[in-house]
Chain A
Amino acid sequence: MTNESLVTRPLPKRFITAAIRHPAVVPLGAVFLAVLVGAVIVAAAGLNPIAAYAAVLEGAFDPRSLDYTVSVWAFTCGMALAAAIPLRMGEFNLGGNGQLVLGGLAAVVVAQLSPLPGVLTALLALIAAALLAGAFGAISAPLATRFRIPIIISTLLLSPVAVAVVSFLVRYPLGQPGAAVAQTERLPDAGHLPSFAGLSYSNLGVLIIIAMMVAFAVVDRRTAVGFEIRVLGANRRFGTYGGVHVGRLTFGAMAAAGAAAGIVGAIIVMSPPYRLIDGALISPGYTFAGLAAALLAGGRPALLPVTAALFAVLQVGGASMERSADVPRQLSDVLQGVVIIVLALRTVLDARRTGRSG
């Protein structure tokens, strides 16, 4: 064999090889595969997959529910942020639920006790939520740097503790006496986030979350700290040799992630029905939809709104699909699961591909 055959390898094949290696291929493929798997499941159940997906889109983009879709998107964005900030430095924050409920708790307590006038009370409640949830998220940093407990483990295991504590407080010391469900008293007016005229779901909270997303994008691209976080995410030893403070940055990133989740929790309780209801922050599944959105975006700030929109549409549209096309909404969870599995597969395939050396 001469080397001519090597040089003149058919162009299409080379083109295809290059195309397959493009970083966008795996995420897009994951979404495509998920949609395909969903279609197969729906068809296997004897239903029309096209009708089901059409119902998802119609439900999500129905002008009457668009307001609701936007609010779900914003909460998903907020929780995506909680996952994406640590993901940028290669860490997984699985403690979003705990951080979320602690934020809700702090906001409720402050809003009820604050003697300050309206706007200041709301601001104070948001700050308290960010501080408490941020402190909780930050616990995992020294656990990782001092005691070598991986962040993915400590966040996952600490989260249910926070959820249980908040649940206890809502049931007993802070609970509304005589109420049918475990919930706190309705917040005084000062603790309500201003809503937009004519909208019942989207309020100032949406703008707060968008502002957080913008702040993340700016820090990521334009600051020394954001650069250092990306360097650590790409190669931790390299960062250490270059003089990056791993411990401090991990602490900051986990605190910021916790604060983002805490603010989402605060926004939820400061919106109608203006109470902290036991389980109500967790049951919509913003945390794991956010995590999936962050993974799908690879933590990139510019992509988060897009991937979060995908899961928000699935969630809102899933409910109306159940009503109009008779397909159970759990299909949304299936799709979310397929996306995560494909993204996890990428890690395995990447590891196989790097069997190259001198």
Chain B
Amino acid sequence: MTDPAATLTGISKRYDGVVANDSVDLVLRRGTVHAVMGENGAGKSTLMSILFGLTAPDSGTIVVGGRELRLRGPADAIAAGLGMVHQHFRLFDSMTVAENVVYGAEPSRGMLLDRRTAATRVRELSDRYGLGLDPDATVGRLSAGVRQRVEIVKALHRDADILILDEPTAVLTPDEVTSLFAVIRRAADAGSTVVLVTHKIHEVLAISDEVTVLRAGRVTGRFLTGEVTGRELVEAMTGRDVVSVVNPGRGEIGDIALEVDGITVHERGVTRLADVSLQLRRGEILGVAGVSGNGQHELVEAILGAAATSAGSVRIEGRNVTALDVRRRRAAGLAVIPEDRRGEGTAITMTTAENLSVGHHRSAPIGGSGARRGWLSPSAQRSEAKRLIADYDIRTGSEQTLVGSLSGGNAQKVVIARELSHEAPVLVAEQPTQGVDVGAIESIHRRLLDYRDAGRAVLLVSHEISELQALADRVIVLYSGRVVAEFPKEEATTARIGAAMTGVAERVGGELP
């Protein structure tokens, strides 16, 4: 082939002493789909931010179309023919598809926006790539998959010939993924270069032409997709075979610890959860499968009491807690590992000790009891933190280190340590291994199994089918806010769970709660 569309050479970037990219080389060939893969935290996003001008590298060069670029910002990157579709869409919900697409590069008639040209342009691009977009639709009413296509058209409208897609399938249903891949293929065939940032191996194998694998900021593998196996990709990503912890079998099933009955959640007119019921017994791990955004987070918040529900009840250890607030529900025997570590799981500007003590700060030894009720002992806060740091092998400078400066895996261990140490009868763990390295995943998995074996109940929400298969005694599948399937461990095959995740209802065992 001719000269590459873009060449990145020796890109290095560090943040506060953490190496995000270490002499990374990346060659993007024209008309190919190039997958950049790696675990969360491997440096993929940093590399893409550098390529798109969002972050300045400490060293290294970027050559696009034979010209070395000094990017001062995304505007320079766009001018050089780059386009990026971010994981979180950057669209105006109240405006139309056409308005969003042309924003920043509007066709105009005098002072006015030329709406007809804008609409024609959108229709033209939509037809060429088979996107099926209506230029006059309001973006706020569109599904995630369609919004993503709006972002793609936005980049194409600005004549992007290198399209960066950052984790594009994270928000999509399986059907939407299939049609996204068709669009990607069509764009590449038309001569565009597509960079697909992902950590999902089957996607890489399904759509890409070439792969660059990153681990801990370095390139650990370069492959032609046709010549590589999934196993080789895993090895490049993890440095070794993934030895996953496997649930050795059912624990001793006890009484009902958590009972959710007919929970319904409406949010701004949209039904997020529809009549969801489940029973979780002591000594059991119940897995909740589903594509992200099918009601899992709403279910967790409904159990915790952090968001309003329209109907239904929650019982913890037999006690109806529906009318209680978060603190009382926790006191009734609930601990929660939230999905979003930085959003809900930690306060990054506070110390490790402070983060570890939230929720423990009103009981001995950190909080006072009796006459000292309501008081707090900073020295107990520190000593308890030291104990948990040692127990859970949290790699931190000291208990006074800010959580924001810990790695993702260690920050997650802070959350795990804090919540498990409540020893609450019911643990809700939402994506407990998201964005942590393999070693930490193993230790977290073992902890969850131990937690169950100690006679407690675990509700495990995960988007990774393999994680649910490894840990759960029973799996339910959420689709569109409903429980569409339930499988005992033995019957929870990838094919069955996968089918249910796409909305194909199947009820096995006939005992839906």
Hey, which bits of chain A sit against chain B, CB under 8 A?
1-3, 5-6, 9, 21, 221-228, 230-231, 234-235, 237-245, 355-358
Contact = CB atoms under 8 A, between A and B. Distances in A.
B488 interface: no
B12 A238 contact: no
A224 B12 contact: no
A228 to B, nearest CB: 8
Given A222-B378, A224-B367, A6 B349 contact: no
18 contacts: A1-B23, A1-B59, A1-B60, A3-B12, A5-B59, A221-B376, A227-B376, A231-B350, A231-B354, A235-B346, A235-B349, A237-B340, A237-B343, A243-B327, A243-B329, A243-B331, A358-B40, A358-B408
A240 B376 contact: no
A244 B9 CA distance: 49
A235 B22 contact: no
A6 B58 contact: yes
Contacts of B22: 3, 6
Interface string B340-370: 1001111111100010011101100001000
Nearest to A5: B59
Nearest to B217: A3
B231 interface: no
A244 B327 contact: yes
B306 interface: yes
Interface in B298-333: 304, 306, 325-327, 329-331
Contacts of A240: 306, 326, 344
A245 B60 CA distance: 49
Nearest to A356: B15
A235 B347 contact: yes
B42 A358 contact: yes
Given A224-B362, A242-B359, A358 B44 contact: yes
B183 interface: no
Contacts of A222: 375-376, 378
A3 B58 CA distance: 11
Interface of B: 9-10, 12, 14-16, 19-20, 22-23, 40-42, 44-46, 49, 54-55, 58-60, 304, 306, 325-327, 329-331, 336, 338, 340, 343-350, 354, 357-359, 361-362, 367, 374-376, 378, 408, 435
A93 B368 CA distance: 31
Contacts of B375: 222-224
Chain B CB within 10 Å, residue with most, of A231, A235, A237: A235
A224 B363 CA distance: 10
A241 B326 contact: yes
A226 B336 contact: no
Contacts of A221: 376, 378
Residue among A1, A225, A244 facing the most chain B CB atoms (10 A cut-off): A1
B346 A6 contact: no
A118 to B, nearest CB: 34
Given A6-B58, A356-B15, 11 more contacts: A1-B10, A2-B23, A21-B16, A223-B374, A224-B361, A237-B344, A238-B344, A238-B346, A240-B306, A240-B344, A358-B44
A241 B14 contact: no
A239 B375 CA distance: 18
Contacts of A245: 325, 327
A1 B15 contact: no
A235 B361 contact: no
A246 B500 CA distance: 39
B109 to A, nearest CB: 36
Contacts of B330: 243
A91 B76 CA distance: 38
A86 to B, nearest CB: 17
A223 B23 CA distance: 49
A6 B331 CA distance: 50
Contact of A355 (B54, B326, B367, B378): B54
Contacts of B327: 243-245
A1 B59 CA distance: 9
Given A241-B344, A358-B40, A227 B45 contact: no
Q: Is the interface of B mostly helix, strand, loop or mixed?
A: mixed
A242 B12 CA distance: 38
Contacts of A242: 326, 358-359
A310 B164 CA distance: 52
B59 A241 contact: no
A241 B304 contact: yes
A356 B47 CA distance: 11
Contact of B338 (A228, A239, A241, A357): A241
B322 to A, nearest CB: 16
A141 to B, nearest CB: 16
B369 to A, nearest CB: 11
Contacts of A357: 45-46
A234 B10 contact: no
Given A1-B60, A224-B375, A226-B376, A6 B326 contact: no
Nearest to B11: A1
B358 A238 contact: yes
Contact of A358 (B45, B58, B349, B357): B45
A228 B49 CA distance: 36
A1 to B, nearest CB: 4
Contact of A235 (B304, B326, B348, B357): B348
A6 B42 contact: no
Contacts of B349: 234-235
Nearest to B25: A1
A2 B359 CA distance: 47
B354 A227 contact: yes
B376 A243 contact: no
A240 B300 CA distance: 13
B23 A6 contact: yes
B15 A6 contact: no
Contact of B361 (A227, A237, A238, A355): A227
Interface centre among B16, B22, B325 (most CB of A within 10 A): B325
B59 A224 contact: no
Contacts of B350: 230-231, 234
Contact of A224 (B346, B348, B376): B376
A235 to B, nearest CB: 4
A154 B19 CA distance: 45
Nearest to B342: A235
Contacts of A223: 374-376
A235 B9 CA distance: 39
A237 B14 CA distance: 29
Nearest to B328: A243
Nearest to B40: A358
A94 to B, nearest CB: 23
Given A3-B22, A3-B23, A238-B346, A243 B40 contact: no
Contacts of B49: 355
A242 B329 CA distance: 11
A145 B58 CA distance: 45
- Count chain B CB atoms within 10 A of each CB in A234, A239, A244 and give the residue with the most: A234
Contacts of A358: 40-42, 44-45, 408, 435
Nearest to A4: B23
A240 B326 CA distance: 7
B347 A238 contact: yes
